Amino acid sequence: MTHMLLLYCLVFLLPTESCRTLCQAASENKEKVSARPHGVCDGVCADNSHCTQPCASDTPGNMEFLCRQNKWHKITDTCRTLTAFNIFEADLYSDQPFGGHIKVKEYDSKSETITDMLMQKCPRDLSCVIRNIQQSPRIPGNIAVIVQLLHNISTVLLTDVDEAKMQSYSIMANHILNSKSISNWTFIPDRNSSCVLLQSVNSFARKLFINKHPIDISDVFIHTMGTIISRDNTGKNFTFSMRVNDTSHEVTGRVLISRDELWKVPSPSQVVSIAFPTLGAILEASLLENVTVNGLVLSVILPEELKRVSLIFEKISKSEERRTQCVGWHSLERRWDQQACQMIQENSQQAVCTCRPSKLLTSFSILMSPHNLDSPILIYITYIGLGISICSLILCVSIEALVWDQVTKTEITYLRHVCVANIAATLLMADVWFIVASFLSGPTTHHSGCVAATFFVHFFYLSVFFWMLAKALLILYGILIVFHTLRKSVLLASLFSVGYGCPLVIAVITVAATEPGKGYLRPEACWLNWDVTKALLAFVVPALAIVVVNLITATLVIVKTQRAALGSSMFQEVRAIVRISKNIAILTPLLGLTWGFGIATVIDDSSLALHIIFSLLNSFQGFFIFVFGTILDPKIREALKGRVTSAKWISGISENLSSDFSCHPTKEPS
């Protein structure tokens, strides 16, 4: 029995990093596009052999074929006619038949260049590429170029998206959503292109500004509606009616927001809904899914206060033998989520679903990763770890203050505890600001607050690293006695210059260089941008460089400890191993060595396992510092015992004095 899904695509305005829930609904009765057309390829066709052929003359790209059952089957196609040089030229295709051979210049620029030129030539309405895009053939290479262009536009434009820009954006998307292009999506090398398109359209629509009048932008293969809602409304609904399968038959889709839900909106807010009649088939073609779509794909952008929305899908195929499901689709994880929506009612004509948003906060791994990975496991690890770390760091700073005079009697111990106290204090502030940033709704709704939060997160986490670097230099000072001629005041000034001066310079330069061009923040989260300006490198590069230096320092300490045990008895060697293990346990959190796993999340930001390891090790860093840097320090324990003993002694003396000087009644002589 064929499984059918109702596709419900929902994007919420939440205080999260990249927390989209995309839901899918069901089956379309059409021929599977996975049966790829045959091509002509030179060479002997042996099973599972590959062959690559160039595109037509003067057309960049190539076609790759795979031999199956003694026949060549095309598997990828990167032939393209759209380039940064001709996409703006007028009448490029006017004298040539659609899809025919087209002379173009050599493609040696990336699609980012097209975006930059677009913002220079027509920043007001983005219309200067529409004509040539509409006249271009819908071949796989052109589809990939347009998808990347739409993604870059949605990333570059953080605010000020008006109806004119949305109209142009929809026209570009409409061209590659055409039902005639569905089979060509199969040959795009990046299988996630359809997911990128969906995510880009939703991201762009989130920034749409709606004035007093509703917005209704209708194209054949994408229809956008937007309006302002308030608690005064009796309810709100969007009704879409669109053609599918190149026929005159139209199917409808409705988005319903009840009056009870509208009462949860404290002030007038905007709602945007988008309908796609072909996107379900495109997702199926590009991802090679075994399920098909039996209705419109609906995307709904809601205020964060709304907790429920209802969707009504008219079925394309009205066969009662096919089972229908409501499921959720995560664009980043590329998987179906059966928990997102629930089937309320179904018959042969339509299905009614109700869907609830899942409120996911920013995970800790976003600090090093170019893109955040949405996962409930990461969220739990991050905020449980940060909660425990914050409490541990408060205790750590309090204990340092309590025993400061007892543990800082020598110059080297004084400087060492200065480093530990500042590492704990800056990490405490960084963790607090990280939580504040994650609770903001994002750059679109709280831009100024998001900039401030990102700046402080950047500054304080950099301060943590530079104080850990200062700690490492202090260890080298103790081992190599490099700065033995320097006075204590000079060393102290150097430590504070490194610990706070360097991070402040980096953080200020980063915000000053990128914020004027709106390239400081990510579109969906309060953290440093990656896609446009690579501002994230202002954190990743110094942090990982410090980790390398600190790793070298820790290695020197271990080598020195190991050399001291060479030629000793078995008992002394065992004690040396114990000392080495203790040094590793103490130095790892204090020098931030676990942040080295950030290299893995930068290289592969889609691996859930790497993100989990990174979050586990680093969200609990404050707890590890408290345990290994404070509790297990014998001098601190001894000082604490002395404070407790002193407190008891003072309490005992107070009681005795109270007893000696208390008044007793006496009997006067008569």
Helices (H) and strands (E) in the chain, counts: 19, 17
Q: What is each CA distance from 163 to 134, 204, 217, 295, in whole angstroms?
A: 20, 12, 8, 27
* 28-58 tens-digit pLDDT: 333 333 333 434 677 788 888 888 888 887 7
Closest CA to 448 of 379, 506, 511: 511
**Whole-number pLDDT of residue 211:** 83
Distance of CA 185 to the CA centre of its chain: 26
Which is more confidently placed, 572 or 85?
A: 85
Per cent of the chain over pLDDT 90 is 20
Reply yes or no on whether the pLDDT at 18 is more than 70: no
Q: What is the mean pLDDT of residues 618-634?
A: 86
Per cent of the chain over pLDDT 70 is 71
The least confident of 63-72, 273-282, 470-479 is 470-479
Angle in degrees, CA 166, 208, 206, rounded to 5: 110
Distance of CA 514 to the CA centre of its chain: 19
* 244-271 tens-digit pLDDT: 766 667 888 888 888 888 888 877 888 8
Closest CA to 50 of 62, 32, 33, 34: 62
**Whole-number pLDDT of residue 389:** 92
Reply yes or no on whether the pLDDT at 23 is more than 90: no
pTM value surpassing 0.95: no
**Model confidence at 670, in pLDDT bands (50, 70, 90)?**
very low
Angle in degrees, CA 103, 193, 190, rounded to 5: 80
Reply yes or no on whether the pLDDT at 146 is more than 90: yes
* 402-424 tens-digit pLDDT: 888 888 888 888 888 899 899 99
Q: What is the mean pLDDT of residues 341-364?
A: 72
**Whole-number pLDDT of residue 53:** 87
The least confident of 473-482, 488-497, 635-644 is 473-482
Task: Calculate the average pLDDT of the chain.
Answer: 77
**Whole-number pLDDT of residue 4:** 36
Closest CA to 522 of 452, 450, 425: 450
Q: CB within 8 A of 30, min separation 6: which ones?
A: 245, 281, 292
Reply yes or no on whether the pLDDT at 233 is more than 80: no
**Model confidence at 631, in pLDDT bands (50, 70, 90)?**
confident
Which is more confidently placed, 581 or 51?
A: 51
Which is more confidently placed, 427 or 298?
A: 427
* 177-206 tens-digit pLDDT: 998 899 899 999 988 888 889 888 988 998
Tokens 């820009």 belong to which residue? 165
Reply yes or no on whether the pLDDT at 534 is more than 80: yes
